[in-house]
């Protein structure tokens, strides 16, 4: 559990990156901080592991103010995954993953074993262990980043736009894996993105921020789409440009294509059992369906 209590951050140059921000991140959830560039997402995230100290207010982890904790020790208990993976370029994959265990004094043998487990967990081929980051693809690097973040079995995992730099194909695969992983390990994850699609796909809870880390809306993905709190949220979701207001059209093969206001196809409408919708059962499976991962997804 992470709690922000009226946190403000004013940088030395006078920039107020975060103004009077309060939020609870419940234990075991995946909370997404979304918002466009410069709104203070990274600053908020870095307050948790004391890479940034708040100018006023408090950040609590499990009820205890982090200001009172030794930063180095604190950071070793909190995983951190960043954009472009932030891997140490002069360390092999295995050495990167083993960083925190090794810093914590775990012996070489045990660290190596842990590395193997972690690579398996994030779906990395064991053969890659002795490569250097530059010898990996972007997606592989991100996986190593996640593995490294998890290697010391942290209570909290901070992820700062971890998938921002990878191919969209790889990105959605990584997102899928992260959801699955989160279901498995139940670590509290704080995830930063400026991509609303990603936020909707991943978050148990989404916090959409304006400049200065001003909360525009906080809620589940579904609440965001169905009940955007204000115009800012609508704009950010693309609702005001009709991107998320969809129309049905019948395609040549008879299936129902759902298109947005620009005629851009969003997908094919299907019945809950996965067969294409013939248009005969409107309203089926309405009212707040099952959580992802619980329902057997069609085609998955």
Ligand X SMILES: Nc1ncnc2c1ncn2[C@@H]1O[C@H](COP(=O)(O)OP(=O)(O)OP(=O)(O)O)[C@@H](O)[C@H]1O
Write the binding mask 142 to 171 for other proteins: x where contact by CB under 8 A, - elsewhere.
------x---------x-------------
99 touching other proteins, by CB under 8 A: yes
Pick the piece of the chain touching other proteins (CB under 8 A) from 95-103, 166-174, 198-206, 233-241.
95-103
Footprint (CB under 8 A) of other proteins, residues 200-219? none
The Cα–Cα gap between 289 and 287 comes to 6
Q: Which is nearer to a second copy, 106 or 246 (CB)?
A: 246
Give the nearer residue to Mg ion in terms of CB position, either 118 or 207.
207
Beta carbons within 10 angstroms of residue 294's beta carbon: 9
Q: Which positions ≥6 away from 177 have C-beta within 8 Å?
A: 122, 123
Q: At what angle do helices 138-150 and 108-121 cross, to 10 degrees?
A: 130
Q: Which CB, 40 or 228, lies closer to other proteins?
A: 40
Closest residue to ligand X, based on beta-carbon distance: 42
Which SS3 state, helix, strand or coil, does residue 190 take?
strand
Measured CA to CA in angstroms, residue 53 lies from 67, 83, 213 at distances of: 8, 21, 15
Contact region with other proteins (CB under 8 A), list: 78-86, 115-123, 255-263, 292-300:
78-86
Q: How far apart are CA 201 and CA 176, in angstroms?
A: 9
Q: How far is CA 281 from CA 73, 115, 244, 277, in A?
A: 57, 51, 21, 8
Contact region with a second copy (CB under 8 A), list: 24-32, 85-93, 102-110, 267-275: 267-275
Long-range contact list for 73-76, CB < 8 A, 24+ apart? 74/49, 74/50, 75/49, 75/50, 75/51, 76/100, 76/103, 76/104, 76/152
Query: Which of 167, 249 has the CB closer to other proteins?
Result: 167
27 binds, among a second copy, ligand X, other proteins, none (CB under 5 to 8 A by kind): none
Task: Identify whether the C-beta of residue 66 lies closer than 8 Å to the C-beta of residue 73.
Answer: no
Q: Which of 194, 205, 207, 213 binds a second copy (CB under 8 A)?
A: 194
How many CB atoms neighbour CB 259 within 10 A?
A: 15
Q: Among residue numbers 201 through 240, which ones bind a second copy (CB under 8 A)? A: 201, 221-227, 235-236, 238-240
Cβ distance to Mg ion smaller for residue 137 or 180: 137
Residues in the site for ligand X, rule: CB under 6 A? 11, 13, 15, 17, 35, 37-43, 194
Q: How many residues are recorded in the chain?
A: 300
**Is the CB of 7 or the CB of 257 nearer to a second copy?**
257
Q: Which residues lie near Mg ion (CB under 5 A)?
A: 42
């Amino acid at each position: 559990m992470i709690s922000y209590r009226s946190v403000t951050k004013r940088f030395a140059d006078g920039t107020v990156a975060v103004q009077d921000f309060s939020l609870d991140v419940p234990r075991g959830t995946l909370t997404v901080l979304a918002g466009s560039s410069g709104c203070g997402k990274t600053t908020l995230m870095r307050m948790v592991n004391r890479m940034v100290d708040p100018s006023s207010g408090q950040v609590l982890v499990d009820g205890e103010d982090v200001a009172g904790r030794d930063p180095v020790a604190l950071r070793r208990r909190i995983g951190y995954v960043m954009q472009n993976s932030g891997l140490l370029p002069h360390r092999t994959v295995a050495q990167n993953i083993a960083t925190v265990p090794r810093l914590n004094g775990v012996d070489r043998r045990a660290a190596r074993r842990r590395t193997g487990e972690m690579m398996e967990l994030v779906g990395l081929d064991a053969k890659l262990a002795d490569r250097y980051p530059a010898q990996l693809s972007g997606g592989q690097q991100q996986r190593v980043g996640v593995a490294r973040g998890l290697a010391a079995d942290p209570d909290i995992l901070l992820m700062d736009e971890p998938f921002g730099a990878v191919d969209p194909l790889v990105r959605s695969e990584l997102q899928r894996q992260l959801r699955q992983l989160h279901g498995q390990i139940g670590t509290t994850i704080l995830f930063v993105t400026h991509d609303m699609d990603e936020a909707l796909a991943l978050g148990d809870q989404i916090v959409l921020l304006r400049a200065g880390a001003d909360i525009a809306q906080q809620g589940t993905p579904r609440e965001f789409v169905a009940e955007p709190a204000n115009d800012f949220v609508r704009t950010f979701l693309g609702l005001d440009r009709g991107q998320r207001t969809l129309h049905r059209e019948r395609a040549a093969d008879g299936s129902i294509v759902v298109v947005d206001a620009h005629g851009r196809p969003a997908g094919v409408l299907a019945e809950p059992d996965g067969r294409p919708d013939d248009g005969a059962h409107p309203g089926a499976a309405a009212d707040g369906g099952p959580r992802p991962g619980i329902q057997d997804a069609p085609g998955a």
